[in-house]
Amino acid sequence: MKKQRQSNYTCDVLIIGGGSAGLRAAIEAHDAGADVLIISKSKKGDPHTTLARGGINAALGTMDPEDNWVVHAADTLREGEFLADYERVEILCKNAPDAINELVTWGAKFHREKDGRLTQRFFGAHTYRRTVFYEDWTGQEIIRVLMEQVNQRKIKIIDNVYIMKLLLLNSDGDDANRERLSSSSKAQGVAQVPNEQEQEQEKIKGAFGVDIEKKEFITFECKSLILAAGGYTRVYEVSSSRIFENYGEGIALAYEVGVDLVDMEMVQFHPTGMVWPEQAVGTLATEAIRGEGGILLNSQGERFMKNYDPERMELGPRDVVARANYNEIISGRGTEHGGVWLDVTHLRKEVILERLTTMYEQFQKLDGIDISKEKMEVGPTAHYSMGGVVVDINCQTRVTGLFAVGEVISQIHGANRLGGNSLLDTIVFGKIAGGEAARLAKQTGKGNTKKSKDASSQLKSKNDTQTNGFGDNDDDFYDGIFVVKEPIKFRNKLQKVMMEYAGIVREQTRLQNGLEQILELKNELYSNKRHINLKESVIDDNNKFENIVLTSQVKSSLISCEAIIRSALIREESRGAHYRSDFPKLDDERWNLNIYCRKEGNGVSAAAEMTLFKHKVKEIKGRLADFVKSHVKAAHHRTFE
């Protein structure tokens, strides 16, 4: 690793994100011979992954020998309402056992039966028990294991870095050959996605951001870059994400350099987030609680899931259980603080303390209750982004050298994610992304040295050497890096808009009103922007520095919000996490397709247009197709009226 003056860094593979996806990618890239650097805005060892409590899936068959990857894949496709790419689902489920075994080999202390078998618990909408876990903080255990591997390899991590812009070698490529759809169109017919190979490919150069602790600008140069920066659920006022994470920063970074987004309307609301006390609203009550036998009750003491999913009850799909909770609340059968009851008081206390340790401590600390004796008050909370950046099966975007992995990408979970599949996809695809990024970095080093050097010189020719690599006349660069006064007010407003107009239940008029308000906030933000002097190596004004980060956060959020609402307006049906009260039925004939979003025009401004187009979901083939046809497909249609 070479550190240059002015806080510039160079490496082969740069990874943005220190969660399980980024760490697993780093391990693989390092083992493939690449010089790797991980940067993260969170503290080392404390990424969002640590909040993943319940477990990680694999068809190991330790509890139910009948389970196999085909059944796991079929469950994933079915509960995603067949919106996912079946090839990615196959990769996910086929590689799951090896992923678990690798973690165990590295020292993961997953729960075991007395005879030594790995314990597997039920999670919602799974045919068999296939969720491996460590108490109820599985994500934290996985991070512990991965961090040990990263440290053993001496892979460099720089935390407290906030990336605001990706850097490209070539910005000439543009494509206007897609059929456009406005958000108000009826979206008849299917636009064809052009062959990306026919278009001139841009190439990643690096990234630019700020060191939060040192309060200075920082530049990274690389041959390959992996985005592992998380999702966009914090654009909602009630979210299971922490206050500083998941505003769609990774989504925005890719979008701004010409990468398409897909399935952005698919936002999963977890059924059970805390609704009280006020400072804990949205904090997750893990699905492991229901997996261990927790039941849901309304204020009248009725176990209401019998009215919504009588066969699977509390272990139904997350979208069904979340809407059931929501319906009970708005129908006047909610609790004092606007939730429903989650009850485990019928379980033995020793089981709760062994299997739900963190939840016992969480509710005791935050709500002052003993869950072995008192019921928990919970309600839906924005939890997971099924939509995101478009990549191929090797996690490569349409920008050469730019990869993405984890919650920042799409087309693995479809319209509704199975609990336990998110940790799995970070490990399986993290490994793939790391290997592919290292391979491309090696090719760049050998075959494209002259091109890279020339492009680098071209970039630096614009420089005053005191500007961290960028000159005053680079208007496009400055358009992307700006500040506004009191950006937190913008953030709070857009979170309220998203919660009110594009939440768990959607309808055309409300979505249109929500879009108008988001676009007004967007225009206001860009109308009040002020350029930053990038020649300042250190920013001494704390308020100004905080506003730089918060402004970038708001800018990223606006992209996700606009994409969510525009896509939700176009999809005139209910599918998985996307529920339209004016179109309550699933409509495969018209809507078995993915909705894509693309930025049109250069630069970053309020005038930049977001256009939408559609493409049919890939037809399932092979062994999985036969199983789905005979066992699953006919029974997958669900309504919620």
Tell me what the mean pLDDT of segment 541-546 comes to.
70
Q: Are 269 and 312 in contact (CB under 8 A)?
A: no
| Contact yes or no for 129/63 (Cβ under 8 A) | yes
Interatomic CA distance for residues 98 and 360, integer angstroms: 32
Q: Establish whether 234 is a catalytic residue.
A: no
Q: What is the pLDDT of residues 323-342, one digit of tens each?
A: 999 999 999 999 999 999 99
Per-residue pLDDT at 135: 87
Calculate ∠ Cα 234-237-243, nearest 5°.
50
Answer for the pair 415, 576: CB distance below 8 angstroms, yes or no: yes
Mean pLDDT score of the chain, rounded to an integer? 87
In the chain, pLDDT over 90 holds for what percent of residues?
A: 75
Instruction: State the average pLDDT over residues 293-300.
Output: 97
- Asked if the model's pLDDT at residue 569 lies above 70, the reply is yes
Q: What tokens were used for 521?
A: 């906030």
What pLDDT shows up at residue 542? 65
In this predicted structure, the answer to whether residue 239 has a pLDDT above a threshold of 90 is yes
CA distance 196 to 258: 12
Annotated active-site residue 126? The verdict is no
What band does 477 get if pLDDT is binned at 50, 70 and 90? low
The kind and range of the H/E element at 488 are helix 487-501
pLDDT for position 125: 86
pLDDT tens digits for range 425-468: 999 999 999 999 999 999 986 544 333 333 333 333 233 333 44
Annotated domain spans of the chain: 19-172+202-266+386-427+470-641, 269-380
Give, in words, the CATH class of 19-172+202-266+386-427+470-641.
Answer: alpha beta
pLDDT band at 16 (very low <50, low <70, confident <90, very high): very high
Rounded Cα gap, residues 597 and 110, in angstroms: 40
Catalytic residue among 129, 270, 355, 491: 270
Q: How far apart are the first and last CA of the chain?
A: 58
What are all long-range contacts of 448-454, with beta carbons under 8 Å and residues at least 24 apart?
451/169, 452/169, 452/223
Q: For the segment 43-90, what is each residue's pLDDT rounded down to a tens digit?
A: 888 899 988 888 999 999 999 999 999 999 999 999 999 999 999 999
The pLDDT of residue 171 is above 70:
no
What's the Cα-to-Cα distance from 343 to each of 30, 121, 374, 597, rounded to whole Å?
A: 46, 18, 7, 42
The mean per-residue pLDDT over the stretch 468-484 comes to 58
Closest Cα to residue 48, out of 26, 23, 74, 28?
23
pLDDT band at 478 (very low <50, low <70, confident <90, very high): low
> Which pTM does this prediction carry?
0.90
269-380: CATH class:
alpha beta
Q: With the CA atoms of 576, 581, 586 and 591 taken in that order, what torsion angle do they form, in degrees rounded to the nearest 10?
A: -90
As a whole number of Å, the CA-based R_g of the chain is: 24
Residue 11's nearest CA partner among 23, 21, 26, 22 is 26
Which residue out of 30, 72, 234, 290 is catalytically annotated?
A: 290
Residue 423 pLDDT > 70: yes
